[in-house]
Structure 1
Amino acid sequence: MPIDAAKALAAEPRTGEIAWDRKDVQLYHLGIGAGVPATDPDELRYTLESRLHVLPSFATVAGSGSPGVISGLSMPGVDVDLARVLHGGQHLEIHRPIPVEGRATATGRIAAVYDKGKAAVLVMRTEVADADGPLWTNDAQIFVRGEGGWGGDRGPSARPEAPTGDPDKVVERAVREDQALLYRLSGDYNPLHADPAFAERAGFERPILHGLCTYGITLKAVVDTLLDGDVTRVRSYATRFAGVVYPGETLRIRMWRRQGAVRVEVGAVRGVPPRERSRTWGRDDAPVLADTIVHHS
């Protein structure tokens, strides 16, 4: 079995120094669709260095995410084919607002390994702290298809209660045809998001958008719509990746207010232009993010 759960869990954490600056923050924001319209004062907070604030989901790419998911897939006890890997979920806890420029220590380890029968799930935890203390903790749930079935722990099964009633807000966000190509410049160079031949080998019609790009687009929509544009109000943000997004589609983001939280569901609509002759043309609200909660102050 390419995944040795005991060995992976016992492996020493990997620690590395990370750094980021204003340019990294601006590039990330552009990669998740910020800056439209370019002269909008609310958008300039994401793109203009003199007004810049940091969307908390930047934590998933800060310092190119090192040590991150790709690094974790080379941990002792883990030897998998990247084409079988899918990002299953993400949980981010923010301990302090992320500075526009910073240096920090990132410590990564495999926190859990679950046996889902037809797949294994690795929980890769990254804890980041600077000289003033903890900044954020990131948990990435990674599905490795075809690597389950050894009789291990299946992991937690509890899921958040589904939202009821009409959403308090619904917004749509267009995904550019080149969105994945721009987003990957923040450090996730998995060819699944750029190389048509690799995407086909992985079972997709064409390259798909990074799940963490959809994750960032969604958090920005929540902050801008229900949190008065104040990024410092975000305390934690969790989601399950329920489906893929193809560049050129549109995201429909539904939001329900809760006490100290926003419940979110995201679907992909409209598809790509007919000239692409894509089988995804005409998708209507196909789920892409589920069980999504933003806790806030």
Structure 2
Amino acid sequence: MPIDVAQALAAEPRSAEIAWGHKDVQLYHLGIGAAADPDKHHPATDPDELRYTLESRLHVLPSFATVAGAGSPGVINGLSMPGVDVNLAHVLHGGQTIGLHRPIPVEGKAVATSRIAAVYDKGKAAILVMRTEVADDEGPLWTNDAQIFVRGEGGFGGDRGPSTRPEPPTGEPDRTVERPIREDQALLYRLSGDWNPLHADPEFAKLAGFDRPILHGLCTYGMTLKAVVDTLLGGDVSRVRSYATRFAGVVYPGETLRIRMWQLDGEGAEGGNGGMDGKGGNGGKGGTVRVTVGAADRDDAPVLADTVVEHN
């Protein structure tokens, strides 16, 4: 069997030193649409956008954790772990969770330790949970969980995994925004370290069952968190404690995301960020933002689901 579950779970964690600087942060922010907000008259020089693009004002959106160190915690790395030997064309990113211990610095060096934390049997597919814990000299920074969906690798009689999902948000959203995706968005985003040809090579995309290359799920993930921070969290990235989503559908470059947000003050605010210790201002009481994301061009076809941002 291409996935040896026992070997994958028993494998020694892999540790690697990672480093990033302001150029990496700026490139990532541009890759998720910074300085391109259609609601702003001159977005490239708007003070709110300069926090994402100008080194003298820079802060780091927490979703940068998915690419820090050239994408070390990414899906591709999970497929190189012992016991895992699968066809890349059968792989999709199923979901992503980030837990923050403290705000991510603009410049940093850290150690990223990765392992397969779980393997779930979904019948026609398997799900690998790739966990990466990152710490610097001052202590833990963040934890990434990437859920890797592998078609055709289920049916081995294993644990199906957690079945609980949050109830869909009800009532009218507090905010709804639309974010257009540039035709070259995937080509720009992949420069941050996710080189999967599914997002650039038309022939590979066809082998994977798509008419053309699709946008990285993590690009949509970053665009969505930026929208939440900018509209409901006062532009303060340090308020984010955790961020989780399930990738429910594909997005194509050139389409428009419709992002709906519900602010639920106090819900899940205590102990809901994966046991993070709250250093650096990320602890204490806060609230939750529930989010849905759809493709506006395709009758709001679901793109991100079960999306939760917990914050101070």
For Structure 1 versus Structure 2, the TM-score category normalised by the shorter chain is over 0.9
Deviation for aligned residue 1:71 = 1.7
Relative to the length of structure 2, the TM-score reads 0.91
Superposed displacement of residue 197, structure 1: 0.1
Shift of 1:257: 0.6
**Does residue 198 of the first structure (1) align with residue 213 of the second (2)?**
no
- 1:112-261 aligned at under 5 Å gives the runs 112-259=118-265, 260-261=287-288
Residue 284 of structure 1 pairs with residue 299 of structure 2: yes
What does the per-residue CA deviation read over 1:247-272, in whole Å, with 9 as the maximum and x for residues that have no partner?
000000000011201000000122xx
**Aligned equivalents of 2:99, 2:86: Cα separation in 1:** 28
Over aligned residues, Cα RMSD in angstroms? 0.6
Quote the offset at 1:67 in angstroms: 4.5
Question: Is 2:301 the partner of 1:295?
Answer: no
- Name the SS of the counterpart of 1:266 in structure 2: strand
Provide the secondary structure at the position in 2 that maps to 1:180: helix
Shift of 1:65: 2.0
Please give the alpha-carbon distance, in whole angstroms, between the structure 1 residues aligned to 2:150 and 2:5: 13
Residues 119, 145 of structure 1: 8 Å contact kept? yes
Do the aligned residues in 2 keep the contact of 1:16 with 1:67 (CA within 8 Å)? no
The alignment partner of 1:38 has SS state of: helix
Residue in 2 that maps onto 1:29: 29
- 1:277 is matched with which residue? none
Equivalences, count: 285
Q: Which residue of 2 aligns with 1:104?
A: 110
Runs of 4+ in 1 over 6 A off after TM superposition: none
* Cα separation, 1, equivalents of 2:30 and 2:116: 30
Q: CA deviation at 1:70?
A: 1.1
Distance 2:117 2:130 in 1: 6
The code of the aligned residue for 1:94 comes to L
2:11 corresponding residue in structure 1:
11
- After superposition, the C-alpha distances for 1:76-132 in whole angstroms (9 at most, x for unaligned) are 110000000000000000101000000000000000000000000000000000000
- State the one-letter code of the partner of 1:34: A
Q: Does 1:65 align with 2:71?
A: yes
CA contact (8 A) 1:44 1:52 kept: yes
The answer to whether the 8 A contact 1:239-1:290 is kept is yes
TM-score normalised according to structure 1 size: 0.95
Name which of 44, 49, 54 aligns with 1:48: 54
